[in-house]
Every structure is written in structure tokens, then in C-alpha cells.
Amino acid sequence: MPEPAPRPRLDGTAGYRKVELEKAPPPAKVPHASIGAWWALYILGGIVGRGAASNGPGALELRSSRTMSIVSDAIEIVSASLALLVVLATSARLVERQRRLRHATDEELMSWGIDP
């Protein structure tokens, strides 16, 4: 969706000879987050966690299962952090889209395929 064009200010502050144009506020920086990386880490954390839980009894397996459990928890913490970034990025994109829609004219909305 392109940036909306400036539109005339209709609040009565300008005269008929000079029309002041109102521009949309500048776009905000939209953070980037990878949904694929989040899903990959989420699934990997679950697989490693199940592997840690399925080890049988024994000293060597117990040490290995503790290590796998720690690795699984670390992967899930990184996955949760990425999930937070995905939510923030999605929210920022929605705010940016709303900013563009709010400051667009009816003609621009129709050219974008949106019924005003």
C-alpha cells in the first residue's frame, strides 16, 4: 500500500486563496521478525524436550537427560523471545496500515481496492 497523498485541511483555519495541505504522519519503523525461525525453534524445543523425557534410568542417561532438558529449556526461551518479536512486528504493521488508511482519500482507497 503506497503512502497517502496530502489532502486539504478542512478545519477552517485557511482562507479560500491559500489551501493548506495536511500530510499523513511519517511512517514508523516496523520491526522485522521471522515467523519461520520462531516455529522452527518451537518445534525443535519440543523434540529435544521429549528426547530428554524419554531417556531411561542410569547414571549416564540421567546426565544426558539433564543436559538435553537444559538445552530444550534454552531453545524454548529463545522461541518465546521470538514469539514476542513476532507479536510486536505484527502489531506495528497493523498500526502502520491503519495510519495509511486513516489519511487516505476516497479515491486512493478505491484504487487500493478498499470500499470507502
- Residue 93 is assigned to a structural domain of this protein: yes
- Residue 91 is assigned to a structural domain of this protein: yes
Domain count, the chain: 1
Which grid cell sits at 13?
483555519
- Residue 79 is assigned to a structural domain of this protein: yes
The pLDDT of 44-55, averaged and rounded, is 79
Between 9-18, 25-34, 36-45, 85-94, the lowest mean confidence (pLDDT) is in: 9-18
Residue 75, pLDDT score: 92
The pLDDT of 24-51, averaged and rounded, is 82
Which grid cell sits at 26?
511519517
Whether the predicted model's global pTM rises above the 0.85 cut: no
50 to each of 29, 42, 64, 80, how far by Cα in Å?
A: 39, 13, 13, 18
- Residue 72 is assigned to a structural domain of this protein: yes
Closest listed residue to residue 34, CA positions, set 94, 90, 91, 86: 86
C-alpha span between 75 and 47 (Å, rounded): 10
- Residue 16 is assigned to a structural domain of this protein: no
Q: Residue 42: which domain range? A: 35-107+111-115
